[in-house]
Structures are given as structure tokens and as C-alpha cells.
Amino acid sequence: MKREDVLFLYLIDNDADLAQRVNELDDHGELALELALKTK
């Protein structure tokens, strides 16, 4: 399932520091953008 809805809400919620947020790695070394768009 694609999660564009989650990505959209994340971007809206973090618009003030968006550049930092989209380049932030999680515990597994993945970007938030990668996680949101991943298809299983």
C-alpha cells in the first residue's frame, strides 16, 4: 500500500523545518521520504 496520505500529513506538520526533516535518517538509515513511499 502506498502512503502518500501519510507523507502529505508529515510534510504539512513539519513545514517550518522541512529541509531538515526530509533529510533525517531513522534508526535503519532510511529517509522519511523513502519510508513513506515504500511499497510492500
Range of the domain at 27: 4-37
pLDDT of residue 1: 52
Residue 19, C-alpha cell as written in the block: 529541509
- For the chain, the domain total comes to 1
In one-letter notation, the amino acid at residue 20 is Q
Q: In 3-state terms, what secondary structure has residue 17?
A: helix
Question: Which residue, among 31, 29, 27, 28, has the nearest Cα to 10 in the 3D structure?
Answer: 31
Q: Is the pTM of this model over 0.75?
A: no
Residue 29: DSSP 8-state: S
pLDDT of residue 25: 92
Predicted confidence (pLDDT) per residue in 11-32, tens digit = 899 899 988 887 889 899 998 7
Residue 16: DSSP 8-state: G
pLDDT band at residue 4 using 50, 70 and 90 as cut-offs:
confident
In one-letter notation, the amino acid at residue 39 is T
Helix, strand, coil fractions of the chain, as percent rounded to 5? 60, 5, 35
pLDDT band at residue 10 using 50, 70 and 90 as cut-offs:
confident
